[in-house]
Amino acid sequence: MKRTLIMQALAMTEPQNTITVCGWVRTRRDAKEFSFIELNDGSCLANIQCIVDADTPAFAGMGEANTGAGLRVTGQLVPSPGKGQQWEIRASSIEVYGLADQESFPLQKKRHSDEFLRSIAHLRPRTNKYGAAFRIRAEAARAVHDYFYGQGFHYVHTPILTGSDCEGAGEMFRVTNLPAGETAVEKDFFGKAANLTVSGQLEAEALAMGLGRVYTFGPTFRAENSNTPRHAAEFWMIEPEMAFADLHDLMDLGEGLTCFVVKQVLERCAQDIALFNNFVDKGLCQRLNALLAKPFARVAYREAVAILQQCGKKFEYPVSFGTDLQTEHERYLAEEHFKQPVMVYDYPKSIKAFYMRMNDDNETVAAVDVLVPGIGELIGGSQREERMDVLVQRITELGQNPEDYWWYLDLRRYGSVPHAGFGLGFERLLMLLTGISNIRDVIPFPRTPGNIEF
RNA sequence: UCCCCGAUGGCUCAAUCGGCAGAGCGGGUGACUGUUAAUCACUAGGUUGGCGGUUCAAGUCCGUCUCGGGGAGCCA
């Protein structure tokens, strides 16, 4: 079935005697002697206008097709005499694949609220805004792979089903096929408790210890009862893990990745980005270009605390060394003090995970958070503790059993080397790229507490 | 999970002190037009989120549940 994508048709430099496009009707305007149809096939934001004369087979073929209907249109690509478009198709034949009942089809030509469109998540890809959002999502994913490929990273697949109950990154979803009422874990499929992954980090470290530079990019699950516009129970996380690297290499990587994706999406999704800049977030392009214009700020946690203490601003939560930075503090640093993305590093060991590398001061660990204006924490990462004795001590200090980490400790037992990695929430990156303020609107079918329709 | 605010026609919202449920858009019908979220006329469309309570009377007051929005916590 030969057809031309609307994206390609609109980019033609010469008229075409015969062209076939397929798509869904966005609007139909009827006159007595002819009809206008605007068709969209998802290949790009723009529609193509088709003219259907009343006395043609195309008009008969079109029938009652109206907003939402799926069509195949064949005709001539000609310069449009009307304003607003360069090309249009003078239809010679139309085949209707599927009609859309006008009384029940929920998408109007008018703007809908995001809340309503979320309730018809299966149909919202047919709107300008969500079509654009999901095209940008695809292009951003491609950019992530391009960047890592260019830096010598290997894409690895870490398990989604995990048996470890000691990852500590958050509440986990239990996976079981036991019949209702049966609770004996030994009788369960794996013979022990299984969960959906909350992070591929530990496995990625194992792979990095052989492949050197690796990254995961896949679904991640958190059973936290988080009700915010920035959290979802299922989200996609990018987790690079880099051997022979320290915290500063890691910060370079995080900054490099973020800027590369922003730049590539600006270049390849210009029309879709323009839609968000015009209708969703008037400052979007300016902010994205500002992000590319100069290096991210880098500040040690200790200095960040001093900045917050001396800024004269009243915070709900007081700041002192040893307390975690609250949202209000992160926002102040990124949005008011630095007014750009800022990397805060060397956090007190007391508020960070066991696997983060102890610094020489014996008080802080080599961890870094990347804070972005309007988004909050985009990246969280660390140089990993590669020294066996220190790692065992940290696990013990936190009241856990080193034996549970036997294979993770093996990585230190045999040929341990300095290494570092981070986790980047892909949806948060998309919020940054589009100006969309709710994470539920950058995932096609979002999973949040109490919501698993579709 | 906590605090605050919401839920009225398919959608977006009105409805004053507790007193006859309305509009715009969308839909249908017709007219008109190289139209551009077309335009004009007519028209249909409601168990006011669920359950319970107060009252002569509840969209409106009270309780509770569900969902949504803003903020917080947890984090990516």
- The answer to whether the beta carbons of residues A293 and A306 sit under 8 Å apart is no
Q: Which residue is nearest to nucleotide B36 (CA to C1')?
A: A84
Domain match, A92 and A139 both = no
Which residues form the domain of A82?
Answer: 6-98
Q: Report how far residue A340's alpha carbon sits from residue A342's, in angstroms, rounded to the nearest whole number.
A: 6
Q: What is the mean pLDDT of each run of 10 residues along chain A (454 residues)?
A: 93 95 93 90 94 91 91 94 90 93 86 91 93 96 98 96 70 88 87 91 96 97 91 95 97 97 97 94 92 95 94 87 92 93 95 94 95 92 96 91 93 97 96 94 92 86
Domain match, A178 and A94 both = no
Domain match, A65 and A130 both = no
Domain match, A270 and A404 both = yes
A451 touches strand B (CB under 7 A): yes
Determine the pLDDT at residue A218: 95
Domain match, A306 and A373 both = yes
Instruction: Extract the tokens encoding A143.
Output: 């950019």
Domain match, A137 and A175 both = yes
CA of A198 to C1' of B55 (A): 54
Domain match, A145 and A67 both = no
Q: What is the pLDDT of residues A64-122, one digit of tens each?
A: 899 999 999 999 999 998 888 999 999 999 999 999 988 889 998 888 999 999 999 99
Domain match, A210 and A347 both = yes
Domain match, A35 and A136 both = no
Domain match, A167 and A73 both = no
A128 touches strand B (CB under 7 A): no
Per the structure, the residues numbered 345 to 404 in protein chain A that have their CB within 7 angstroms of any atom of strand B are 376-380
Pick from A409, A146, A354: nearest CA to A259: A146
Pick from A339, A134, A371, A159: nearest CA to A251: A371
Q: Is residue A220 included in any domain, yes or no?
A: yes
Q: Is residue A129 included in any domain, yes or no?
A: yes
Domain match, A311 and A414 both = yes
Name the domain boundary from A98, A132, A166. A98
CA of A436 to C1' of B52 (A): 40
| Counted domains in chain A | 2
Determine the pLDDT at residue A166: 55
Q: Is residue A446 included in any domain, yes or no?
A: no
Per the structure, the residues numbered 95 to 114 in protein chain A that have their CB within 7 angstroms of any atom of strand B are 102-103, 106, 108-114
User: Residue A272's Cα: distance from chain center in Å?
Assistant: 16
- Residue A62: count of CB within 10 angstroms of its CB: 24
Q: Report how far residue A18's alpha carbon sits from residue A171's, in angstroms, rounded to the nearest whole number.
A: 58
Nucleotides of B under 7 A from a protein CB: 1-2, 10-13, 25-28, 32-38, 66-76
Q: Is residue A150 included in any domain, yes or no?
A: yes
Domain match, A147 and A200 both = yes
Q: Which residue is nearest to nucleotide B11 (CA to C1')?
A: A112
CA of A269 to C1' of B2 (A): 41
ipTM: 0.89
Q: Report how far residue A35's alpha carbon sits from residue A52's, in angstroms, rounded to the nearest whole number.
A: 5
CATH of the domain at A272: 3.30.930.10
Per the structure, the residues numbered 205 to 244 in protein chain A that have their CB within 7 angstroms of any atom of strand B are 222, 224-233, 235, 237
Q: Is the dihedral of CA A372, A278, A11, A16 positive or negative?
A: positive
Instruction: Extract the tokens encoding A224.
Output: 């936290």
Phi, psi at residue A64, to the nearest 5°? -90, 5
Per the structure, the residues numbered 68 to 87 in protein chain A that have their CB within 7 angstroms of any atom of strand B are 80-85
Give the nucleotide at minimum CA-to-C1' distance from A232. Answer: B76
Per the structure, the residues numbered 144 to 183 in protein chain A that have their CB within 7 angstroms of any atom of strand B are 169-170
